Each structure stands twice: as C-alpha cells, then as structure tokens.
Amino acid sequence: MASRREDVQYLEYIFSQFYDIGVNSYGGVTRLGYTKIEDEMHDMFKDLGEEENLHTYIDEVGNTFVANDISNKEYYLIGSHLDSVVNGGRYDGVVGVLAGLLILNWAKNDNLDIPIRVGAFRCEESSNFGKCTIGSGLITGELKRDDVKGLVSKTGRSIIEIFNSKGYNLSPKKIENVKQYLELHIEQGKVLEEYDIKAGIVTHIAGPRRFEICIYGEAEHSGATPMDMRSDALCAASEFVLELEKLGRKEAHRKSVTTVGVLNNNPNVLNVIPGEVNLGIDIRGIDINSLDEIENGMNEAMKRISKERNVKFFLQSTGRFDPVKMSTHMQKKLSECSEKLRISHKVMPSGAGHDAMAFTRVCDTAMVFIPCYKGISHNKSEFSSLLSIYDGAKIIYEYLKGEK
Ligand code: HGY
Ligand code: MN
Ligand code: MN
C-alpha cells in the first residue's frame, strides 16, 4: 500500500492534468456538457486510466469508464461528472472521478478482487441545455429520447446534431450489472466546514423542479407612456422574483429553496418599456409537500401579478425530479467505515443535484460529501483540499473492502 504522501501526490498529479482544461480569463473554468472542452476532460480521464493499465471504454452517450474488470460480473460503480457551470470551479464533479482513480489504484496494489468501475457522466449540469444529468439520465432510463431530443445548447447546437456527429445514441441500452453506485462530491454548502467535520454521509438528494417563464407586457416609448398606462414586463418579473424568494423563505424550515437564476429582458434598451422577460426558475427540496406548497404559491403569484399589471405569464416545466433517498444500509456502513477510520462525519441531505439521483433507479446508491472552502461552489473560488479527497476516498475504499 502506497503511503498517504504518495497517494496525495498521485491526486495532485491527476488533478493537475485537468487543471487548465476550459480555463477562462475570469480565473474559473467553463466546461459545458457535450462541448469540445468536456470532450477534452473525458479524453484526459481515459488517458489517466490507460496510464494505469486499466480498461477504458465509452458508452453510447459519451460517458467514459475506467475499470479493473470488464467481464459481465456485477460491479461497484464510482462516478461523477467532468462538466462544469459557466465560469465554475475545478472541484464540482472532478473530485468524485479523482477519488475513483485513487480507489482503483489501491484495489490494484492490494489485489482486491472486486470489480470496480469509475464513470464520468456527460452533461450533469443544466448550464448548457437547461436539463441536468443527461449522460447518467439516458443510461439509467431516468431520461428518455423524447425528454432530450429537442434540446439546444447555449450556442444553438441541437443535441441531435451533436449526438449524430459523435455517433452517440439518444436511445441507449440501459446500463447493466451495477451492484451499487457510490459518489464522492464536494458538499457545495457550508455545514461540514462550519462544524469542522471531515465527511458527510448523504441521506437524501433534493429534487429539483425547474421552469421557464415568459412574461409578455407591451414594449412602448419610455418617455411618452404615462405610468398608469403601462404593461411593464420587467416590473412584473421583479415582483414575481421577490414573491418566489418569499415562498422559499417561508418553506426554508422544510429545507426547500427557490432561485431565479436566469433573467432575459427584451428589448433591453434604455428608452423602451420592457415588453418581454424570460425567467429561469430552480426550486429544490427534500419534502414533496413543501415543493407543492411553493409551486401553488408560484401559480397564485402569476395569476395576481398578471391581473394587476396587465401582463401575460407563460410557464413551462423544464425538469422535475422527486427528492431521492440514498440507501439506508449503505449509509449505515459508510458511517461505520468513517468511525473505523476515525474520520469525523455527519449524515445530511444534499441541496444540490447529482448523477446519483439517476442511479437510484438502477441500484442501491450512496454519496459521501467532503467540505469545500466556505461552501462556495459554481464559482471560480470553489476549493477543496487533496487531503479531503483522500479522506473521502478512504471511506469509500474501506466500504468496498467490507463488501468482499
Ligand atoms: O445544479 C446542481 O444541483 C448540480 O450542481 N448539477
Ligand atoms: Mn454543479
Ligand atoms: Mn456536481
């Protein structure tokens, strides 16, 4: 068994191989799903697997796998993603893939006879197509061809065109023989760091409900139109945004959150009253009743504002996952492994979405969190330490050894 120093040096080496891919002038990285930059990340992952003389392969939707055994035996799948948000950080998703490579290394050095594969899943972020977990969703059946065939990227490329050009399949065979799925991920919240706890054992993953809203008013002359004769779409949108924030605050005790992350104002010129505004809504929670409360409140607000301001609201759902529960027995065993390794840990929900959501459809699934600097994520300042990644990987490896 290599020393901890050698393991951390290996982590440092593989982390550095990804470091500059997709770097932008703001200091962060933009590695959008199903783009050339994400291709580069997957090529690098495949190269790193081949460097260790491991098996590598790519599935029908472009997910990349590195494995110690590609027979049709049941295997343990460790996974995450290599895409990022726009100007995001270098740890979201990547730490899970790094941990997987380290675990494969340990298993090889220990001659641990357990089939293990590490998967890097395409387009986990909704940043490029407005839909999340496309790679893992398609191969687990969470997403069907009809759910994605109409998607168009931020640069106007259709997913059909991208899949055709890469020889991918929008109706892939469902992934098979996965005994269990485990994912290491940065917490993307402040709890672990705040309480100086080294690991989180995830109980639930919040279910996202996402919507696009178009608000139509009337684009008119900003100087000649009296205040009481306007249908200002941006004022209506602003009232709606604050209303949705209020709904989120009201449901915070049930761990729900609401965000308007996208606002496009048209025609967005100084001397024209905004005639049309498009909003992107992200609601999350682990309690379905709470999410329903928020959704009802959102519909009430739209009705009221549209009447009071003489505008029209058009709502379209762009994604809906129920909250998912992680495997109870895996949670228990992961906690026991953390105890045994004397790594402080706590059980906790995940507010962020992950590829693990999709895998709950095909096998027992669990997640381990590690702290990240001030809980910052989806931001160039995102940071976690190599030692944290090492600790998280140790817990998962200890768990796998216990499965022998
Ligand atoms: O948006 C999320 O929750 C995740 O980062 N994809
Ligand atoms: Mn993310
Ligand atoms: Mn992620």
Is the pLDDT at 1 greater than 80? The verdict is no
Is the pLDDT at 20 greater than 70? The verdict is yes
CA of 353 to the centre of ligand 3 (A): 7
Taking residues 266-276, what's their average pLDDT? 98
pLDDT of residue 287: 95
Is the pLDDT at 33 greater than 70? The verdict is yes
CA of 361 to the centre of ligand 1 (A): 19
The tens digit of pLDDT for each residue in 246-270 reads 999 999 999 999 999 999 999 999 9
pLDDT of residue 114: 96
Is the pLDDT at 321 greater than 90? The verdict is no
CA of 187 to the centre of ligand 3 (A): 9
Taking residues 3-19, what's their average pLDDT? 94
The mean-pLDDT minimum among 78-87, 190-199, 261-270, 317-326 falls in 317-326
Is the pLDDT at 404 greater than 90? The verdict is no
Question: What residues does CATH 3.40.630.10 cover in the chain?
Answer: 4-206+323-403
pLDDT of residue 2: 74
Q: Average model confidence (pLDDT) for the chain?
A: 97
DSSP-derived secondary structure letter, 228 = G
Is the pLDDT at 378 greater than 90? The verdict is yes
DSSP per position, 126-187:
STTTS---HHHHHHHTSS-HHHHTT-B-TTS-BHHHHHHHHT--SSPPPP--EEEEEEEEE-
User: At residue 89, what are phi and psi to the nearest 5 degrees?
Assistant: -100, 175
CA of 92 to the centre of ligand 2 (A): 6
Q: What global pTM score does this model have?
A: 0.89
Q: Relative to the CA of 188, which ligand 1 atom is closest?
A: 5
Q: Relative to the CA of 377, which ligand 1 atom is closest?
A: 5
pLDDT of residue 395: 98
Q: Relative to the CA of 81, which ligand 1 atom is closest?
A: 6
CATH code for residues 207-320: 3.30.70.360
CATH class entry, domain 4-206+323-403: alpha beta
CA of 284 to the centre of ligand 3 (A): 15
Q: Which of 376, 378, 382 to mutate to test the pocket of ligand 1 (most atoms within 8 A of CB)?
A: 378
pLDDT of residue 249: 98
Residue, of 130 and 236, whose pLDDT is higher:
236
| Closest ligand to residue 351's CA | 1
Asked whether the beta carbons of 212 and 313 are under 8 A apart, the reply is no
CA 190, chain centre distance (Å): 17
pLDDT of residue 4: 85
* Ligand 1-lining residues (CB < 6 angstroms): 124-125, 132, 352-353
Question: What residues does CATH 3.30.70.360 cover in the chain?
Answer: 207-320
